[in-house]
Structure formats: structure tokens, C-alpha cells
Structure 1
Amino acid sequence: MKLIAVTNDRMSIDELIQTLLAIEPYIDAVILREKSKTDTEILKLIQKLKEVNFNVKKMIVHGKPTIANTEQIDKVQLPGGLPLPDLMRQYPALLFGKSVHSLEEAIVAEADGAESVLYGHLFKTNSKPGLQPRGTDDLRRIVSSLTIPVYAIGGIRPSHIERLREVGIAGVAIMSTIFESEHPKNIAKEYYDAIHT
């Protein structure tokens, strides 16, 4: 099972770099989900990460295939709504993960050529206030219906890992718990330890 960090778009570039360097040993990948930053700022972030030897293979660009292509990053995570088949034709060298919120969306994403899907939100989370969590029943159906890797996101705690492992997911994506912590390295290690015990 893999551990993917998802940035929360609340840090400066320098703060984010320091946090990512601290958690890098414990994560398999990071989705750079910095929606409020300009393309120029995201490029600067990626270039600075490369300068400090953050592993490029662990980087996933959120929603911006042009930037991934320019910076020779292999993977893009697409939010719902972006036309996957068109983007695959335009950027044949890239792998695309797709964020989904239902079994139907997951089936379409796989048929369209997604390399993986990210499903959520599973449990109550501060980043989705007032929205009902989806739980694990649909997640279980998605895992059994698809042949591509299925990742889960949303309110996942280290204590959930064993239960989620039984569902058969490829990994978990964590945002708030890591990036809103005063000790992100310790939190990332807690997830790492839960996954690897």
C-alpha cells in the first residue's frame, strides 16, 4: 500500500519545500495541488524542489499537464471534469490519474485510459465541512470493478489503514493531517509505520 501526500495550498513555496523534504522519506508520492498559485509559481516550486534533490519520480502535478510535460514529470492527477481522452492524445508521454466520486465515474475513468483513480472523501474531514463522507462500501465496489489501482482520500487516519488494506486499495492520499500539523514529519511517519507493519 502506498502513501501519497496531497498539498493543501496554504503554504508559501519555501514552507512547502521544507515540509516536503521532511516527509519525503515516508511518502511514495506527492500531488502538488496548489490551486491558488500561478503556473509561474508552480514551476518555481518544482524547480526549487529539483534544486534541493527532492525525488522527481515522487512528484505528481495536479490538473496541469503542460507543467508536468515541461518539467518532465511523468504523472498528472486530474480533477473531475477535465477531458482525459483529449489530454492523453495531446500528452502521450504522461500518465493520468483521475479523481472520482462514484463507481460510475471510476468505470468511465478507466475506460478513458486513466492509470489510476483517487476516490473520496471516505471519512469526516475538515477540508470538506458539511459534506457527508462516502464511507467504504462504494470504495469496495470500485476496487472489485476496476483493474487499475484505486487510491482513497478524505479523513483517513493511521488507525484506518488496516481496515482499508482489507478493501484492497493501492494506497491512501493524505492532505490535512500532514500539512496542517506542526510536526508533519512525525505524522507522515505514523502513516508509514501503519502501512508497513
Structure 2
Amino acid sequence: MSTLRDNLSLYLVTEESIPLEKLEQIIEEAILGGVTAVQLREKNSDGKIFYEKALKIKQLLANYSIPLFINDRVDLALAVGADGIHIGQGDIPLSVVKQLVPMSMKIGVSVKNVQQALKAEADGADYIGVGSVFPTSTKKDASMLQHGVLNMICQAVTIPAVAIGGITSANLPQILNSGISGAAIVSAIMKADDPRKAAEMLKKQMTTAIVQ
């Protein structure tokens, strides 16, 4: 039986601009390549569109026993029976989210320093997303972590830490010894010519690091 830490090793975050049919194809190819979890990230969609998209993706992931995480929207995570919810520092506080969702729903929190990481763990987060570890065009307001901060955060907490932000197969090796449990990938898979092959390469790198 896979653990949450296992499920976070190759964590795909979706790109909102991709039409649903194409999105489903990319996600399925990525799963076949080794993706272990999918976060549906929609910043600009209407609630109805987000809900319908989430339902479709949930059905697809269920075929492969891959967990679905919803970004920000607790109501939609509950509505589709998602496996998890991921919140940022500017969202509803974790303590409140925990009162709203069932205990079975995993909660991740975005952090960028040790203080935020320790607070997330103390407040009951199941995992943290740490970034941005590299320059990224996906999130315009993302600030890059200073050198060494990723390692400090991973050492400070006992819950799984997932690195995010501009990660590709070329730069992933730079952070594999930091203590991360997983890598969250957006463009390197979502915009790849061959999503399955891209996922396979990233998965191989993560697996090698975890084995070591």
C-alpha cells in the first residue's frame, strides 16, 4: 500500500490554459510515465468550469488509483471528493480548512521559509510545497528561495516536502540531495512534446534519489 510520501514523489500540477480534452490526454500520458499525484490548479476559471473539469479529472485518475489534489478551493475539493487540497499562505487558514474537510483528505501548504514550514507542520499539514526553487513562468508572483533554504526547510520538518517552481529534468539533480520527498512539475510535463517520456525521465531521477 502506497504512503502519502510515495504519492508525492512526482506531483503533476496542471496548466489552466490547456483545453480539457487535451488536458486529459496529457495527464493520462504523464501517469503512464510515472506521475504519482495530480493537482488541478485553476486560478481564473468559473466555479462551474472548475467543478466540471475536476469531476472529469477525478474519474480519469480513479482508473489508475492516482490521488487528485485541488488547488485553493476547499468547496470544490469537497464537491468532487478529492483526495487532497493544497492551500497557499493567502488562502483560508489551515486550522479552518481542517475543520471543513474530512480527516481522510490530505492538506498541503505552500511555504517559502522555515518559519512557515514549522507553522504548517504544527497546525497539522500533511505535507508542504516549497518554492519557488528555480525561476518559473507559471506563477508570475513567485519569489525564488535563497540558496540553502530548501535544505533548511526539509531538515526542519518531519512531514513530506515537495519542491516546486521551474523544475525540469536538467535542473532536478541540483535539489535531489536536499531532503525533498517529491518534485512538483508543471511546464516540464504539461508543455512537453512527449509528456509520457518527460514524466519517465523525471520519475527515474526521483526514484534514483529516493533509493540512495
TM-score (norm 1): 0.89
Question: For 2:129, which of 118, 123, 137 is the aligned residue?
Answer: 118
- Aligned-partner Cα distance in 2 for 1:19–1:115: 27
Matched with 2:89 is 80
Matched, 1:39 2:50: no
- Aligned-partner Cα distance in 2 for 1:114–1:130: 23
Q: How does 1:23-172 map to 2 (within 5 A)?
A: 23-25=30-32, 26-52=34-60, 53-55=62-64, 57-82=66-91, 83-93=93-103, 94-128=105-139, 133-172=144-183
- Aligned-partner Cα distance in 1 for 2:116–2:142: 19
SS at match of 1:107: helix
- Is the alpha carbon distance of 1:128 and 1:67 closer, same or farther for their aligned partners in structure 2, counting shifts above 3 Å? closer
Unmatched segments (≥5 aa) in structure 2 = 1-5
- Is the alpha carbon distance of 1:71 and 1:196 closer, same or farther for their aligned partners in structure 2, counting shifts above 3 Å? same
| Count of equivalent residues | 197
- Is the alpha carbon distance of 1:145 and 1:16 closer, same or farther for their aligned partners in structure 2, counting shifts above 3 Å? same
For 2:133, give the aligned amino acid: L
SS at match of 2:121: helix
Matched with 2:3 is none
- Is the alpha carbon distance of 1:131 and 1:87 closer, same or farther for their aligned partners in structure 2, counting shifts above 3 Å? closer
- Aligned-partner Cα distance in 2 for 1:45–1:24: 17
- Is the alpha carbon distance of 1:58 and 1:74 closer, same or farther for their aligned partners in structure 2, counting shifts above 3 Å? closer
- Aligned-partner Cα distance in 2 for 1:28–1:129: 26
Give the Å deviation of 1:131.
6.3
Give the Å deviation of 1:128.
4.9
Q: Is the 8 A contact 2:67 2:84 kept in 1?
A: no
SS at match of 1:166: coil
Computed over aligned residues only, the root mean square deviation of the Cα atoms, in angstroms, reads 2.1
Matched with 2:12 is 5
% identical equivalent positions:
27
- Aligned-partner Cα distance in 1 for 2:186–2:57: 19
